[in-house]
Amino acid sequence: MQLPTDFKRLRRLRRTAAIRSLVRETELNVRDLIYPLFVAHGTGVKEEIGSMPGVYHLSVDMLRREIQEISQTGIEAVLLFGVPAHKDDLSSEAYAQEGIVQQGIRAIKEENPDLTVITDVCLCAYNPHGHCGIVRGGQILNDPTLELLAKTAISHAQAGADIIAPSDMMDGRIAAIRAGLDQEGFVDIPIMSYSVKYASSFYGPFREAAHSAPAFGDRKTYQMDPANTREALREAAADVEEGADFLMVKPAMVYMDIIRQLRDRFDLPLVSYNVSGEYSMIKAAAQNGWIEERQVVLELLTGLKRAGSDLIITYHAKDVAKWLREGCLDAQRI
Ligand code: PBG
């Protein structure tokens, strides 16, 4: 048989590690990573979250130590969540001056003023029913919730937050938070909107971490149906119009098509959130020796960048920072 010779020799560019490095299109950088932290009441608390090995509830004193450590890694931004002492129907600890997040923000800024502090704005961890808005008669009310979200955002900005990240999925929240921040003089504080947040089962471990599982029903009347794409584009467009400064897709792994579509259609910085369930699956498989954790994580995050993420929120951030320092510059070379 006469073998064909007129085919493309794509392997030429893969022959050596150095050539592969020259033609590599996507590079992971520690500056792209945002590390989530959970701050809790008490002192000396460093309590591992059962389903998220390596992730902790930290009291403010322990948070300070953690910030010292993070500041050595090259990570430039953290996303702060609170575990409140007190839950009530008005979610009052969410916007209390001495609330746990507000204390956490001030402590982080004292330890390292250069670290960018992004704060999650939501009510679900702060009320007994665990929903992201005010509940009356079994309904999650949209408009009355907006004022509390704006109040929460303002209190975070007053405590020194650099970026406000609302995750509640109420309609009109970006406009309400923008108006609230502006009225209080925080015109320069950007909003990182959880624009496209799906009603996902991948949040399970986080809800254990934040004690924020809904006590009744689910989040499907405000978070998005995983089956929908066009609706994601409408959500993002609405947020742009209302004044969002960043867009986000959450979860990340099974929504890479959505990340790509947002990247192609909008010019705002795009964030993907590699959520708790995605983290736990990798950790569990790695602990069983079924996958190579480092290679799998670097491949995953490279995939999220390739799909169009500018920034990635990930519980793997500290590990990745370490691997990148050790010179594992890409998933292929290690
Ligand atoms: C709060 C919030 C959630 C997450 C971030 N902010 C949980 C939820 O909406 O149920 C999920 C983060 C994760 O799973 O890592 N609304």
pLDDT in tens, 255-268: 999 999 999 999 99
Q: Which helix (H) or strand (E) holds 282?
A: helix 276-287
13 within some domain: no
- Distance, in Å, from the CA atom of 41 to the CA atom of 87, rounded to the nearest integer, reads 13
**Does residue 253 have a pLDDT over 90?**
yes
Task: Please report which confidence band the pLDDT of residue 334 belongs to, taking 50, 70 and 90 as the band edges.
Answer: very low
Query: Closest Cα to atom 10, ligand 1: which residue?
Result: 203
169 within some domain: yes
Q: Is 0.85 surpassed by the pTM of this model? A: yes
Q: What is the predicted pLDDT for the residue at 329?
A: 58
Tokens representing 197 are 């947040």
- Running DSSP on this structure, what letter comes out for residue 131? -
Q: 216: domain range?
A: 26-332
Contact 198, 225 (CB under 8 A): yes
Q: List the beta bridge partners of residue 135.
A: 140
271 within some domain: yes
**Does residue 330 have a pLDDT over 70?**
no
Q: What is the predicted pLDDT for the residue at 327?
A: 83
Tokens representing 57 are 């509830």
**Does residue 333 have a pLDDT over 60?**
no
20 within some domain: no
pLDDT, mean over the chain: 96
Which residue, among 167, 161, 168, 92, has the nearest Cα to 126 in the 3D structure?
Answer: 92
21 within some domain: no
Q: What is the predicted pLDDT for the residue at 209?
A: 79
Pocket test for ligand 1, best of 118, 122, 131 (most atoms within 8 A of CB): 122
Rg (CA), the chain: 21
Number of folded domains in the chain? Answer: 1
3 within some domain: no
- Distance, in Å, from the CA atom of 119 to the CA atom of 104, rounded to the nearest integer, reads 10
> For ligand 1, which residues put their CB under 6 angstroms from it?
120, 122, 124, 132, 167, 203, 206-207, 275-276
188 within some domain: yes
300 within some domain: yes
Percent of the chain clearing pLDDT 70 (strictly above): 98
Domain of 226, CATH number, reads: 3.20.20.70
Which residue, among 290, 260, 293, 254, has the nearest Cα to 274 in the 3D structure?
Answer: 254
